[in-house]
Chains A and B, each alone.
Chain A
Amino acid sequence: MYHLRLVGQFARASVQNELAYRANFWISLLHSSLGLITGVLGLVVVFGQVETIRGWDLPSTLALLGVYQILAALRGLFIGPSLEALAGMDGEIWTGNFDFTLLRPVDAQFLASVRHWRPFALIDLVLGLGVLVAAVYQLATALSPLRLVAFLLTSLAAVTILYALQLAFSALTLWNPGFLFTWVLDGLFNMARYPVGLYPGWLRIVLTWLVPVGIMTTVPAQALTGTLPPGTLAGSLGAALVLLLAASALFRFGLRRYASASS
């Protein structure tokens, strides 16, 4: 309850902060809409020429785009703003402002993960949900309750994996404060826009096993369209748990190296 109240306070303060710059709302709306339109348009053009690409048709690829959009929205809503504030040359680890996170009587990982919210990312969330609903309507078969549960569980795993990756890449900043590790994650995350099966074999292995951004979008889209290979649901939940524990351990270990901008 205490933690939920804290999240509420941070979200409220962030909304106040963001509303000080009203023009950003319209810019965010334009940016999100353009991103989505080009994404959908690209798919429509491609699937105007072919029926399927390696087993992926338009509705299932659209579902994957919707999942991607929702994950990007959640990343933009709080995971990204909070954890990316640590990284880079003006980041809190470099400047030492991370001191004020560590001085609070609250778990440092929790506080580092929920301090900053970007409410305009809710636009992306609404657009992403819209794409997902449109995809479901185009599916050949109706959405059964079982598939819906599988979709929700794999989506939970996807959000957990996204958070764990963001946490791990941000934690690396504790070893090298000026290095923008999160930019590397940006590049990899962009690859989750397309089904992992479309990539060449070696990249498919990287995106499934090393930095599992592929699992994040491909698996929930498969769950929604009823093409989930057996064992994948349990596998993605297990991978999410392992990644979360590993990223948390990395973050906690990294805290010992924090130099607070001294020397």
Chain B
Amino acid sequence: MSEPHIVVRDLSKTYRVPEREAGLLASLRGLFQRSYRDVEAVRGVTFDVAPGEMVGFIGPNGAGKTTTLKMLSGLLYPTAGEACVLGFSPWERRPDYLRQISMVMGNKSQMLWDIPPLDTFRVLGEIYHVPSAQAQRTVDELVALLEMEDLLTKPVRNLSLGERMKCELVAGLLHRPQVLFLDEPTLGLDVSMQGRLRRFLAEYNRQRDVTVILTSHYMADVVALCPRVILIHHGQLLYDGELQGLAQRLAPFKLIRVALRRPEWDPEGLPPGVDIVESENGRVTLRVGRAQAPALTAHLLNTLPVADLAVEDPPIEAVIDQVYQEGVS
């Protein structure tokens, strides 16, 4: 097996942030005396990413996802721990390293605002030493994949959010990076634009075998693109593995969907510890502890006129929501 592209060991980052109380008096006091507190944004995170892998980095707001990505892209110095990306220590920010990575952020723009995207691409091509013929070829390929021919000559400030995001992706990929950090690339986009960008990223990863770490609050992004997810919460790694395994590992319950031959049935006959999620016209969804699921399935088949029955893991959104709200036991 080839060496991992990204190796992270016990990576931590603590920010020192100013504290301010509300009110004018407190603000005036703050002019002369500041108090600070330490915020542990990332706490001892460890993982590897193999070449060509697409990994979803998920967690609630403030979990430490973006901070981790920024350390891996060399923007932030860690407080402790190590990281090695493509054989480089990211925060040394060596040109040979920076030429091989890219970071695209949904909430920040690298485009020059008052001139057409093509001009930004030209400047970036020069910065990254991309020969002009190759830059042109790459832009043509990406523009075709993203279906954005008509945007190239409009000033960036006149583009919609989705159109601008397409330009950000071209700008980020112009130098053909081997490792791509995507921080909320579909933020604020409508559903069809989200879908188009997802298809583009999947196709690009397939064609170029680029290693990708993606953070997104839209689980649909992660489900569509990332076979593997890393869940981070309060700066700590809670789960690292297949997306499907996340539900098994973190959700202590299963959903049993039953279609009855007759709509009427008696809920009183259910064993204790079973929740009815919904019941309508003979279609019943029950939530039960993972260990209880086989016994309940047998009980339902024996006592009810079952036409169809399925045992499922809960939807990934529900699992994530539960983790975000309650943490992991």
* Residues of A near any B CB (own CB < 8 A): 2, 5-6, 9-10, 13, 16-17, 20-21, 95-97, 99-100, 102-106, 108, 256, 258-260, 262-263
In the complex, residue of chain A having the shortest beta-carbon distance to the beta carbon of B105: A99
> Contact at B15–A263, with CB atoms within 8 Å?
yes
Give the complex CA separation of A127 and B25 in angstroms: 49
> Contact at A263–B41, with CB atoms within 8 Å?
yes
With known contacts A105-B95, A263-B15, A16–B115 Cβ distance under 8 A: yes
Number of interface residues of B (CB under 8 A): 39
> Contact at A9–B126, with CB atoms within 8 Å?
yes
Can you list 12 A-B contacts (CB < 8 A)?
A: A5-B126, A10-B123, A13-B115, A16-B114, A20-B155, A21-B114, A99-B103, A103-B103, A105-B97, A105-B99, A258-B76, A259-B76
Question: Which listed residue (B62, B67, B77, B98) contacts A105, Cβ 8 A?
Answer: B98
> Contact at A99–B75, with CB atoms within 8 Å?
yes
Other 18 A-B pairs with CB < 8 A, given A99-B70, A105-B96 = A5-B126, A9-B122, A9-B123, A9-B126, A17-B112, A17-B113, A97-B109, A99-B103, A99-B105, A103-B75, A103-B103, A105-B128, A108-B93, A258-B75, A262-B70, A262-B76, A263-B15, A263-B17
With known contacts A13-B112, A103-B75, A6–B126 Cβ distance under 8 A: yes
Taking the closest CB of chain A, its distance from the CB of B159, in whole angstroms, is: 15
Taking the closest CB of chain A, its distance from the CB of B183, in whole angstroms, is: 10
> Contact at A17–B114, with CB atoms within 8 Å?
yes
> Contact at B123–A100, with CB atoms within 8 Å?
no
Taking the closest CB of chain B, its distance from the CB of A172, in whole angstroms, is: 16
> Contact at A102–B126, with CB atoms within 8 Å?
no
Give the complex CA separation of A2 and B125 in angstroms: 12
Give the complex CA separation of A96 and B74 in angstroms: 14
**Is B119 close to A, CB under 8 A?**
yes
Contacts of B114 in A (CB 8 A): 16-17, 20-21
Give the complex CA separation of A99 and B120 in angstroms: 16
Q: Mark B40-72, 1 if CB is under 8 A from A, else 0.
A: 010000000000000000000010001100100
> Contact at B95–A106, with CB atoms within 8 Å?
yes
With known contacts A17-B115, A20-B115, A105–B108 Cβ distance under 8 A: no
Contacts of A256 in B (CB 8 A): 77
Question: Which listed residue (B41, B93, B99, B128) contacts A262, Cβ 8 A?
Answer: B41
In the complex, residue of chain B having the shortest beta-carbon distance to the beta carbon of A15: B115
Taking the closest CB of chain A, its distance from the CB of B112, in whole angstroms, is: 6
> Contact at B112–A97, with CB atoms within 8 Å?
no
Give the complex CA separation of A2 and B73 in angstroms: 24
Question: Which listed residue (A16, A102, A105, A260) contacts B127, Cβ 8 A?
Answer: A105
Give the complex CA separation of A17 and B157 in angstroms: 11
Q: Which chain B residues numbered 115 to 133 have a C-beta less than 8 Å away from chain A?
A: 115, 119-120, 122-123, 126-129
Contacts of A100 in B (CB 8 A): 108, 110
Taking the closest CB of chain B, its distance from the CB of A252, in whole angstroms, is: 11
In the complex, residue of chain A having the shortest beta-carbon distance to the beta carbon of B102: A103
Question: Which listed residue (B74, B101, B103, B119) contacts A13, Cβ 8 A?
Answer: B119
**Is B39 close to A, CB under 8 A?**
yes
> Contact at A13–B73, with CB atoms within 8 Å?
no
Give the complex CA separation of A99 and B102 in angstroms: 11
Taking the closest CB of chain A, its distance from the CB of B258, in whole angstroms, is: 48
> Contact at B17–A13, with CB atoms within 8 Å?
no
Taking the closest CB of chain B, its distance from the CB of A250, in whole angstroms, is: 17
Taking the closest CB of chain A, its distance from the CB of B20, in whole angstroms, is: 12
Give the complex CA separation of A5 and B112 in angstroms: 18
Contacts of B39 in A (CB 8 A): 263
List of 7 A-B pairs having minimum Cβ-Cβ separation, nearest first: A105-B95, A105-B98, A263-B15, A100-B110, A20-B114, A105-B99, A17-B114
Contacts of B96 in A (CB 8 A): 105
In the complex, residue of chain B having the shortest beta-carbon distance to the beta carbon of A97: B108
> Contact at A13–B123, with CB atoms within 8 Å?
yes
Give the complex CA separation of A95 and B109 in angstroms: 11
- Most A-side CB within 10 Å, residue of B73, B95, B120, B126: B126
Taking the closest CB of chain B, its distance from the CB of A125, in whole angstroms, is: 23
> Contact at B74–A102, with CB atoms within 8 Å?
yes
In the complex, residue of chain A having the shortest beta-carbon distance to the beta carbon of B18: A176
Question: Which listed residue (B15, B108, B112) contacts A259, Cβ 8 A?
Answer: B15
Contacts of B70 in A (CB 8 A): 99, 260, 262
With known contacts A20-B155, A102-B74, A262–B127 Cβ distance under 8 A: no
> Contact at B75–A102, with CB atoms within 8 Å?
yes
In the complex, residue of chain A having the shortest beta-carbon distance to the beta carbon of B62: A263
Q: Mark B82-103, 1 if CB is under 8 A from A, else 0.
A: 0000000000010111110111
